Structure 1
Amino acid sequence: MKTLVIGATTNKERYAYRAINSLIDKSHQVVAIGVKPGMALDVEIETEKIPFKSVDTVTLYVNPTIQKEYYDYVVSLKPRRVIFNPGTENPEFVQLLEQNGIDSEIACTLVLLATNQY
């Protein structure tokens, strides 16, 4: 399964970086988009909305205001689900996803991975 991390960073202290690390540890394929280019472990952080293929899950690490610029992009990827990590909750985006047949979860990617619920 491929996961797209939106809000990726090279900062090892940030939750988005920790999520990339945990996803890789659990053998998930990871692609990432962030504000600044760089590497998070072996994952290249893209700064453009790349039309990635076969994305199963999108996990968000950007606030609702920033999410607006990703609405159409995320819907176009047709992921199975979008995870809203703590602080990223966005009822407007959840409604848009539902209208497009995409599941959403208000959850913590790190907790889901740690408890084998991912």
Structure 2
Amino acid sequence: MWWRTLIIFLAFVLIGAHFMRFGNNLVAVCFAIAPLLLLIKHKLINHLLSIVLVICAFAVWGLSGYDYVQMRIAMDAPWMRLAAIMTAVAVFTLLAANCSQGIAKLRAKRSATLLN
């Protein structure tokens, strides 16, 4: 389960770094410390984190990737590698959202075995 937590942490730090690049330090810090919510063992927290990751995959990486590719096309610069990298980052963020759901399932399974 540690690797799932690591993937979630890396995805949030990556989103935070994106915001820090544009000077939004408060938002960057919020994203960087968001994985600490995993210490609260409640299924709603996992759902909240996965929803945030899915939204960020599309709203942050999707829109930023589209803007960057359009900028490269307008400058007549190569853009295929940029599109591939931004797609990979978005897929990684969606993988982290899936890992968050996996943590919720593992916690539910453990609590069910403890009750029996």
- TM-score bracket relative to the smaller structure: under 0.3
TM-score, with length taken from structure 1: 0.27
Q: Which has the higher helix share?
A: 2
Q: Which has the higher strand share?
A: 1
Higher RCO structure, 1 or 2 (CA under 8 Å, sep 6+): 2
User: Based on CA coordinates, which of the two structures has the bigger radius of gyration?
Assistant: 2
TM-score, with length taken from structure 2: 0.27
